[in-house]
Amino acid sequence: MIRSRHSSAVTLAATILAAVILTAVLGPNPLHAQGTVQLDPAVQELVAEVSEENLEHLVHTLAGFETRHTLSSVDDPDRGIGAAREWMVDELSGYSPRLEVSLDCYDVVAQGRIAEDVELCNVKAVLPGHSDRRIYVSGHYDSVAQLLEGMAEEYERFNNPAPGANDDASGTAVAMELARVLSQSGLEFDATLVFIGFAGEEQGLFGARLHAHRAYEEGTRIDAVFNNDIVGNIRGGDGRRDGTSVRVFAPGPEDSPARQLARYVHRFGSAYMPHHEIRLVAREDRFGRGGDHTPFNYWGFAAVRFTEPMEDYSRQHTVYDTADGVHAPYLARNARVNMAGVATLALAPSAPDVDTQGGNPRLSRGDTGYDAHLQWDTSPGATSYRIFVRGGWSMDWEQVVEVGDVTEFTFPGLSIDEHFFGVAAVGPDGHESLVSPYVRGPRSVSEVETR
């Protein structure tokens, strides 16, 4: 049933016969009751360190530049995107000598909503970890506002007042506040953490598109992107209020990297912030809209978007998107959900590799032909592994089994046709990696024709 590098009574009788064959095939669901989540006091302290006052200060300061339009002034010391990014560099640089702060710049020629040639600069702060895998926390710091009489020339009026407090000083503030807390914590992380404010989002996701493509071309390993965009308001334009939940958008298919990250956010965010509902949405973004996570998903990186459930469309892209529309306690709760996921994932080992060199998952019917047999590679720093299982028509993992320090495991009599499987690595302090799902890629035309 099981081959172990460290056999302990054949790993406790093959983990009590795989939790009595997953509680008689997906019975009671421990994952929805936090299951195996082991709260770490160090992560709890990081979550608690997130400051409403700091977030409020960051939002007010960013909104105070009057406009942060991508094509606004870069020379005015008090107004425009140039003043905003210089302030962000100074602010981030003052948090900790551990942070490596820089501008990530690109020359963009006039196209689409970019009405003239521009040097577009993202603001980036890197907290080096022990490994080269990277976890991003992002927001976009540019803003835009329409003319009061209508939408015409919205993107050409570079110097319109465009405070952009919620869209997206709120998300930028989350990234900056996590940079402050994590860089000052004194903790050493396995993953390298990147806190970034993108520019050019309002003109077509330019800053994120160029950065994600460069990362792909350079072979940068990005394990996760926590993108925050419009995360600070609790009152919708129709008067409804919600200050106790946040939406997390993740495109498919069912076991895409983005969906694994969304499930991770739900699992650990709910454990550390049990009174803040994390509402997973099986879409790339709000219907017909987009955000800076999208280019990362396009290039194969795991990226999700955090957004408030009660958007006030009357404030978005107008002069009315002011700091008084951002509710600091709610913004802090969303930042703490980010913190729970980011810190746990950064402290965890990397996810195990479950594929062969040919790209097929190492999932088989075992020696009998009727079992579920899983194999994976060891993850550096892992001390045990967890197998996740769900039924064939389920969106989220339904059962988890701790299988110990092994690299393969068998569930007797469990059909690999009717269930989905994944495996995560666990470090010595209980921190869990992302789940690596057993997913077969699309069949080629030649494969289909020979079936």
Q: What pLDDT score was predicted for residue 339?
A: 98
The strand order across the sheet containing 222-228 reads 100-108, 118-127, 192-198, 134-140, 222-228, 303-307, 245-249, 277-281
User: Tell me, what's the pLDDT at 449?
Assistant: 55
- Residue 33: predicted pLDDT: 37
d(CA 265, CA 252): 16
- Per residue in 418-451, pLDDT (tens digit) is 999 999 999 999 999 999 999 987 665 555 455 5
Mean pLDDT by 10 residues, the chain (451 residues): 42 49 52 66 98 98 97 96 98 98 97 93 98 98 78 63 96 98 97 98 97 98 98 96 98 96 97 97 93 97 98 93 97 98 98 90 94 97 97 94 95 95 97 96 58 54
User: Which positions ≥6 away from 23 have C-beta within 8 Å?
Assistant: 399
Bridge partners (DSSP) listed for residue 384: 426
Whether pTM exceeds 0.85: yes
At what angle are helices 52-63 and 81-93 packed, to 10 degrees? 150
C-beta atoms surrounding 312 within 10 Å: 21
CA–CA separation, 300 vs 270, rounded Å?
A: 26
Tokens 């996590």 -> residue = 178
Angle, alpha carbons 90-296-37 (nearest 5°): 85
* Number of neighbouring beta carbons within 10 Å of residue 289: 14
Q: How many CA atoms lie within 13 A of 18 on its CB side?
A: 23
Q: Residues with Cβ < 8 Å from 284, sequence gap 6 or more?
A: 249, 250, 251, 290, 294, 297
CA atoms of 104 and 198, how far apart (whole Å): 9
Burial class (CB within 10 angstroms; exposed 0-12, middle 13-18, buried 19+) of 36: middle
Burial category of 11 from C-beta neighbours within 10 Å (exposed 0-12, middle 13-18, buried 19 and up): buried
> For residue 230, what are the contacts with CB-CB under 8 A and spacing of at least 6?
166, 167, 168, 170, 171, 307, 308, 311, 316
Nearest CA-CA partner of 375 in 363, 359, 389: 363
State how far the alpha carbon of 75 is from the alpha carbons of 58, 79, 122, 281, in Å: 21, 9, 17, 41
- Beta strands 436-437 and 399-404 are unpaired
Burial of 322 (0-12, 13-18, 19+ CB in 10 A): middle
Q: Whole-angstrom Cα distance, residue 231 to residue 222?
A: 23
Taking each helix axis as running N to C, give the angle between helix 41-49 and helix 170-184, from 0 to 180 degrees, rounded to the nearest 10.
Answer: 130
104-111 LR contacts (CB < 8 Å, sep 24+): 104/196, 104/207, 104/211, 106/206, 106/207, 106/210, 108/200, 108/206, 108/210
In order of 34, 44, 146, 272, the CA distances from 38 in angstroms are 9, 11, 48, 10
The predicted pLDDT at position 32 comes to 42
Taking the CB of residue 372, how many other CB atoms lie within 10 A of it? 26
Yes or no: say if 318 and 325 are a contact pair by the CB < 8 Å rule. Answer: no
User: Could you give the strand order of the β-sheet that contains 384-391, starting from the edge strand earlier in sequence?
Assistant: 399-404, 384-391, 419-426, 436-437
What domains, with CATH codes, occur in the chain? 9-33+352-450 (2.60.40.10), 41-347 (3.40.630.10)
Q: What's residue 418's pLDDT? A: 96
Q: Report residue 57 as tokens.
A: 């200060």
CB atoms within 10 A of CB 117: 11
